Amino acid sequence: MQLTRPPPPHLQPFIKLLWASSPEGVPTKRPGAREHVLPTGGMHLVFRLSGPPLKLFDSADDTRGQTCGYAIVGGARAAPYMRDVSVATRSVGAQLQPGAARALLGAPEDALASQHTPLDALWDARQTDASLEQVHAAGDLETQLNVFEALLAQRVIDALGAGLRGLHPAIAATLGPLADENPSITGLVARSGYSHRRFIALFRGAIGLSPKEYARVMRFDRALTLAGDPAQSWAEIAFSAGYSDQAHLSREFSALAGMSPQAWRRTGATSPRHVPAGTTTGQIRSRR
């Protein structure tokens, strides 16, 4: 069971999407199962409400992994990671808007990038445990998502009351062009009115990635969207997504997905960014 919905208008500057999932109707245990998760360039916050805590692995050869907890912040990444999916879990979560981390989590994006951070390192253990218990006690999945949303709404209210604001206007103006095309970073810097060093610092603090890294992930996102149509050739996808040629697409795809475009398509994954680890021999290393 999967629920997804946009946040209410007053939360939209901070939250992109709210979701909740339950393992009803699927096998609850798949011993040893792992999954490659491909980068989105954004952040997410997840509460696990059943099953084991999140466990990540450095590579296919890593047998121990690292346990991250039940309330986890996934920072912005420009690389894939591998996680344990041997037990289906019940969870609620939010995809955060760029620049929202300071208001919702109390830390800038660049401090959380390329890693998973236990929420109790940001909210403290008492507040994190109380929030998890409140959501867990809410009952059905939709009500749990409502309670989770209310907790985030209160965080936003508190942050705004303390004088914190959302995304810097100079950075907000660059996100549309970076998502939809291949603009010159030099041109974006010039239009921002800031020095190159200051613009890069503002961007990394708000997004967690450099402008160049973010642009790469957004172009990769366009390629993944187009690749969902099996009738599209990789040459056509490369042209439409903004790569110089198919070889350029193949190099970038392998760097960002940890596997070639052909290997990715052969997995037959139902979700483009969630690839069963057993379907590819590529060994993805996770930067925590």
Residues 174 and 104 in one domain: no
At which of 135, 161, 187 does a domain end?
161
Q: 270 lies in a domain? A: no
Distance CA(267)–CA(28), nearest Å, equals 22
Q: Which two tokens stand for residue 183?
A: 């603009």
Q: 284 lies in a domain? A: no
Q: Which two tokens stand for residue 283?
A: 């060994």
CATH number at residue 194: 1.10.10.60
**Mean pLDDT, range 189-193, rounded to an integer:** 93
Q: 57 lies in a domain? A: yes
**Mean pLDDT, range 162-191, rounded to an integer:** 89
Lookup result for tokens 């009500």: 143
Domain count of the fold of the chain: 2
Q: Which two tokens stand for residue 285?
A: 């290393």
Q: 77 lies in a domain? A: yes
Backbone Cα Rg of the chain: 19
Residues 45 and 63 in one domain: yes
Q: 242 lies in a domain? A: yes
At which of 161, 177, 205 does a domain end?
161
Residue with more model confidence, 59 or 236: 236
At which of 161, 177, 204 does a domain end?
161
Residues 52 and 137 in one domain: yes
Q: Do 97 and 13 meet the contact criterion of CB atoms below 8 Å apart?
A: yes
Using 50, 70 and 90 to split pLDDT, how confident is the model at 281? very low
**pLDDT tens-digit profile of 76-87?**
999 999 999 999
**Mean pLDDT, range 154-176, rounded to an integer:** 88
Q: Do 282 and 256 meet the contact criterion of CB atoms below 8 Å apart?
A: no
Distance CA(116)–CA(129), nearest Å, equals 18
Residues 150 and 245 in one domain: no
Q: 67 lies in a domain? A: yes
Predicted TM-score (pTM) of the model is: 0.88
Is the four-CA dihedral 188, 213, 41, 48 of positive or negative sign?
negative
**pLDDT tens-digit profile of 215-271?**
999 999 999 999 988 889 999 999 999 999 999 999 999 999 999 999 998 887 778
**Mean pLDDT, range 207-220, rounded to an integer:** 95
The pLDDT assigned to 27 comes to: 62
Residues 138 and 177 in one domain: no
Q: 138 lies in a domain? A: yes
Q: Do 214 and 199 meet the contact criterion of CB atoms below 8 Å apart?
A: no
The pLDDT assigned to 26 comes to: 61
Residues 59 and 195 in one domain: no
Q: 288 lies in a domain? A: no
Domain hosting residue 211, numbered range: 169-263
Is it the case that residue 280 has pLDDT exceeding 50? no
Residues 126 and 258 in one domain: no
Which residues are CB-neighbours of 23 under 8 A, at least 6 positions away? Answer: 50, 51, 88, 89, 90
**pLDDT tens-digit profile of 14-49?**
999 999 999 876 667 888 999 999 999 999 999 999
Torsions phi, psi for 201 (to 5 deg): -65, -45
Residues 157 and 185 in one domain: no
Is it the case that residue 288 has pLDDT exceeding 60? no
Mean pLDDT of the chain: 91
Pairing, β 71-74 against β 91-96 = unpaired
The pLDDT assigned to 83 comes to: 95
Residues 104 and 232 in one domain: no
Q: Which two tokens stand for residue 16?
A: 């992109």
Residues 54 and 117 in one domain: yes
CATH number at residue 119: 2.60.120
